[in-house]
Structure 1
Amino acid sequence: MSPIFAGFLASLIAGLATGVGALPVLAMRGVDAARQSLLLGFAAGAMLAASVFSLILPGFEQARVMGSDIADATLTMAAAVLIGGFAMSQLGALLPQMDSGRLAPVAGTSQRARSVWLFVAAITFHNIPEGAAVGVAFGGDSLRAGLPTAIGIGIQNMPEGLAVAGALVALGYTRLRAVQVALATGLVEPIAGLAGALVVAAATSLLPWGLGIAAGAMLFIVLSEIVPDLDLGVRVGQRGATAALAIGLALMTFLDTAIV
């Protein structure tokens, strides 16, 4: 099997894992306000951990491997994170105020719908450098490097898929549609994986920037959109969201550090 095809196939399987992770929502029943907060809390925790352990730290390490000293690698990642946050803030400003007749099927959830769809966009965006990382690993004709990378990213994608689908179910979307959207967020990975395998040198040089930009986008969504919503829930007695955030953070931290 050629390294290019192996990179594409491995990134495709890793991307499909996002849809697999979303499957448990098919067994969920109705989602009340308390469960909405739990699902979004879990998603926020998973995104915080993924931002640091899946994106910022690997980007820093990749920059160091490419020859940057500690200061240059740090500046690269800091700049990339700021660019990602700024880009996502501009995307948020461009999004129309969603109402119950458009993207938010549950009346009174327009602000939460906006937050969730920004969250979905951030997850999709962060899957691009992950797919490229798999493609680069295989494109270098290194099964030893590529296989663990693909397995690790695939496992990490499963709770991300659950977070996406759960957040959409919390908005009132059908469980099947929520799973479909979660799967779609992962299918950008094989495209990026193929590109990474085809242009290993270019993809490697851009990988720290891609990882940092994706991290900045995710951090912006968590801190500006999801956490304020959770804080409101806590103030009205929905304290389980804090525990859900901690669980999501702990689970993704374990997957990011123990698997890859």
Structure 2
Amino acid sequence: MLEYFIGLHPVIQALIGTLFTWGMTALGAAIVFTTKNPNQRFLDSMMGLAAGVMIAASFWSLLAPAIEMGEGGSLPSWVPAATGFLLGGLFLMVVDKLMPHLHPNLSVEKAEGIHPEKKRRSTLMVLAITLHNIPEGLAVGVAFGAAAASFPSASLMGAIALAIGIGIQNFPEGVAVSMPLRQTGMSRKRSFMYGQFSGMVEPIAAMAGAAAVLFIQPLLPYALSFAAGAMIFVVAEEVIPGSQENGNSDLASLSLMFGFAIMMILDVALG
């Protein structure tokens, strides 16, 4: 099975990898069929876990390879990584200001973006998680494209490890959309559909990322660090605050460290 996967085009590899991450989003959203009121400590610990995975993935799978790829160039090795990293964060900040969206567990009055009052609560929540899933899909796609480009610091197993890590952290994201919708009275089926829908953007972003780096290889270190910067912005702006706003800060912090360790082990062991 692995030999067959290795022989596939990197864009197809990225598609398969993010179909897995989308599936994990759907699995999290499916929790809505088992309960209407999940344990808040469980939700906060899962969000902390997601934050740890994303932070570790940003460095081990994206920034570190970007720095290595920058060595030997006309610019100092840190320039592409730092430039892409900051641009990724700025890009997400701009999109965050423009796209109407609502973070889970907040009232509609606290929706962000342009004219959010014209959107339904369910649509705003799905848009919020969809916005956060774009850099995750992009990161997976760029990782598979980098492996195909035969850069010494990038490997297929490292890209697979990143997809696994992103999949792990997508589980609580699916829960974070479907459960609040269920608590507002929406049917279980519709809550699930909205929850898993937020992960559909990842395969699209992944294929675009993989294709881009194959055609424009000099941009690869910038693309890797761009994805890292976008992910860190999401962690700092939404995931960590959301995991600690219900009084479970110690549990969420320990879960973050556990998630970081999981992703670090995956990347080092497989990459």
* TM class, shorter-length: 0.7 to 0.9
CA distance in 2, matches of 1:157, 1:10: 15
CA distance in 2, matches of 1:97, 1:160: 20
* TM value normalised by structure 2: 0.72
Structure 2 runs not aligned, ≥5 long: 112-120, 183-190
The structural deviation recorded for 1:259 is: 1.6
Q: Which residue of 2 aligns with 1:29?
A: 35
1:62–1:208 contact (8 Å) kept in structure 2: yes
1:129–1:207 contact (8 Å) kept in structure 2: no
1:204-231 deviations in Å (ceiling 9; x for gaps): 2111111112211221222233323334
1:63-84 deviations in Å (ceiling 9; x for gaps): 22xx238x71112212222222
CA distance in 2, matches of 1:195, 1:4: 20
Structure 2 counterpart SS, 1:182: coil
Q: Which residue of 1 aligns with 2:98?
A: 94
Structure 1 runs not aligned, ≥5 long: none
Aligned residue identity for 1:8 = V
The structural deviation recorded for 1:43 is: 1.9
Q: Give the number of the structure whose residues are more often helix, by fraction.
A: 1
Deviates more, 1:53-62 or 1:87-96: 87-96
**Corresponding residue to 2:19 among 16, 27, 35:** 16
Aligned residues: 242
CA distance in 2, matches of 1:109, 1:38: 25
Q: Which residue of 2 aligns with 1:185?
A: 202
CA distance in 1, matches of 2:130, 2:270: 24
2:140–2:163 contact (8 Å) kept in structure 1: no
CA distance in 1, matches of 2:149, 2:77: 24
Aligned residue identity for 1:186 = P
CA distance in 2, matches of 1:251, 1:22: 18
The structural deviation recorded for 1:44 is: 1.5
Deviates more, 1:185-194 or 1:146-155: 146-155
Deviates more, 1:109-118 or 1:15-24: 109-118
Seq. identity, %: 23
TM-aligned CA distance change 1:194 to 1:20, over 3 Å = same
**Corresponding residue to 2:263 among 237, 242, 252:** 252
Structure 1 counterpart SS, 2:76: helix
Aligned residue identity for 1:52 = F
1:59 aligned onto 2:69: no
The structural deviation recorded for 1:115 is: 9.1
TM-aligned CA distance change 1:150 to 1:226, over 3 Å = closer
Q: Which residue of 2 aligns with 1:216?
A: 229
TM-aligned CA distance change 1:78 to 1:60, over 3 Å = same
Aligned residue identity for 1:259 = L
The structural deviation recorded for 1:120 is: 4.0
**Corresponding residue to 2:145 among 130, 135, 143:** 135
CA distance in 2, matches of 1:170, 1:226: 16
CA distance in 2, matches of 1:220, 1:187: 21
